Structure 1
């Protein structure tokens, strides 16, 4: 199995090493992976942070079609929700609170 090296970019939206360590288990490298999952995730975060078009993704990330496919597969599988839930639980436990909130407020704009 070939080892995919992570190539760091230097964008404000990039994950720190600590942030990546906390969620890396949700993004395992497959045997046929050509792109490091952290690179793909950083590209998605860049898009969300900057609100640009997929095709306007800077060229130091993986090709936009690859990033889009990664994002879409994670969305359809429910992976984003799993990662967000784990981060919320860890954050709450660090703050010495219950892992799951006992209530939530929903504010709807009409």
Structure 2
């Protein structure tokens, strides 16, 4: 399984993710290097920076966050402990799965 993320560029995190979960991470960088504007020397033309660059499969992650945001408990950061937030995510995803399985087939 392969996952693309922008952050966590340290080698320690890559090693931990591969050993603990079996997931290989690929760091995705923006075309402009992460900066929305860049400096140019005096008299030099500014470098071309695309306003929108599509990152492959990022919509899948954004869609999942939207599904989680529909749950009232996860719409705000109410939880103090990480384990409570993780349990709320598991519960929300289980509820989504049950709702989809209970839906009549067309």
Whose strand proportion is higher, 1 or 2?
2
TM-score for the superposition, normalised by structure 1: 0.26
Higher relative contact order (CA 8 A, sep 6+): 1
Give the TM-score, by structure 2 length. Answer: 0.27
User: When you count helix as a share of all residues, which structure comes out higher?
Assistant: 1
